[in-house]
Structure 1
């Protein structure tokens, strides 16, 4: 579990973001110099994780589109999902809070649950990562940040504030996922109207390549999955 703490070496950006999240207060501007590399962004994120009084239940992954992917040297970004912000979908709608003046959105997701703790190493591929997966679920990511412009200043800014994550609604398990994963599709509806449609192939390499990316990233950051 990560325990809240503060010291003079902690990023003031991390302190500002975590304070704004705790107080549910919007930020009109980015609270400091914007990071322009993913290493700088993850340094801020790691400081914020250390300040946040909750344990990490999982990680979200987002795509980095061209031309940012070539400049940053990565096609994805990651952010923590904390245990108190994971809800199980039921018969009734799931309610959750958003920050007035901040950013909020929902995204359909495929959620991979590992059947074991991943060995602490690098060099993961989609094929080797697949052996770790125990179950796959549908889900909804609650994207959220105190900073309304979190997605308007490039992926490094997005990554710096928990990857623009505010929670996860965990839905039903997908049966026989190993034979179906590449062909799975889903739709997002609001009040019965379809507003988005996609699938497991929407991101190059699919969910298993995303898992391999995350395993390698966390190893480089001194973390395990």
Structure 2
């Protein structure tokens, strides 16, 4: 029996397993329940976990769903929450972030959109119609992370079920003249001084604004919305780059700055 046909209590059990593992920084060796076979089932688990997590949502991340899964799941992206205590400002110093031993961790160079107004609740947003909602754009690094090492190996529904495989966001500097420049911006990612990925806004399917439109339409169907001040991490611009404790990553956004970060062993958090 699929999770879509099972009781809501199983979604709660899975959500509790993931949130407890994140809270205590302990790995989950196998998926803690019936594997979700639809995004609706995955978001049911995610919503349960959001309710259990002791923090407020300050933004959302988008992840790409590639072929043929995009056809199977009826979506080209998946979404996950970013919590307020897991947003760190970038500066001149290297930003440290925790990775769970024997879990999953990766760094992703991203372009971040900040909402300037509460978004009206509707499901017909487009990459053009969302632009007036945006107040600012920034460079950033999404910290992808999960206590389950296989989070990306069992399809997008599994990825979505555990906060969309998000563990935080390093927020860099503002992008000047972003309305004109954003579609053509490029960036690179290095880990331990080795170039691991190059790309830019054009690597995000239909661009960052399409990511925001997708998110708004998806959240509307989930009975959620976006508020002024929330940050949207629009998708991996150079790829998803696995990282381990002790490694240093640098995202280079050219004239818009760079972000240096260091992976360290995660410790448990207080509820």
**TM-score scaled by structure 2?**
0.79
Quote the residue 1:22 is aligned against: 23
Determine the C-alpha separation between the residues in 1 that align with 2:97 and 2:50: 21
> 1:81 is paired with a residue of what secondary structure?
strand
Question: Could you tell me whether the CA contact under 8 Å between 2:140 and 2:170 is conserved in 1?
Answer: yes
Quote the residue 2:196 is aligned against: 195
> 1:126 is paired with a residue of what secondary structure?
coil
Distance 1:223 1:104, change over 3 A: same
Quote the residue 1:143 is aligned against: 144
Quote the residue 1:33 is aligned against: 34
Determine the C-alpha separation between the residues in 2 that align with 1:9 and 1:187: 41
**Number of residues of Structure 1 aligned to a counterpart in Structure 2:** 219
Determine the C-alpha separation between the residues in 2 that align with 1:31 and 1:224: 29
How many Å apart are 1:10 and its aligned residue? 5.7
Residue-by-residue CA offset, 1:69-91 (whole Å, 9 max, x unaligned): 00000000000000000000011
Determine the C-alpha separation between the residues in 2 that align with 1:13 and 1:185: 38
How many Å apart are 1:8 and its aligned residue? 5.5
Moved over 3 A (4+): 7-10
What are the ranges of 5 or more consecutive residues in structure 2 without an aligned counterpart?
A: 1-7, 227-271
Residue-by-residue CA offset, 1:87-145 (whole Å, 9 max, x unaligned): 00011100111111100010000000011110112210111111101100000000000
Determine the C-alpha separation between the residues in 1 that align with 2:10 and 2:149: 27
Question: Could you tell me whether the CA contact under 8 Å between 2:10 and 2:33 is conserved in 1?
Answer: no
The 5-angstrom pairing of residues 166-205 of structure 1 reads 166-205=167-206
Quote the residue 2:213 is aligned against: 212
> 2:129 is paired with a residue of what secondary structure?
helix
Question: Could you tell me whether the CA contact under 8 Å between 2:11 and 2:44 is conserved in 1?
Answer: no
> 2:199 is paired with a residue of what secondary structure?
strand
Quote the residue 2:262 is aligned against: none
How many Å apart are 1:223 and its aligned residue? 0.7
Determine the C-alpha separation between the residues in 2 that align with 1:202 and 1:118: 26
Residue-by-residue CA offset, 1:190-220 (whole Å, 9 max, x unaligned): 2332111111111221100010000001111
Is the aligned partner of 1:82 residue 2:83?
yes
Determine the C-alpha separation between the residues in 2 that align with 1:221 and 1:25: 30
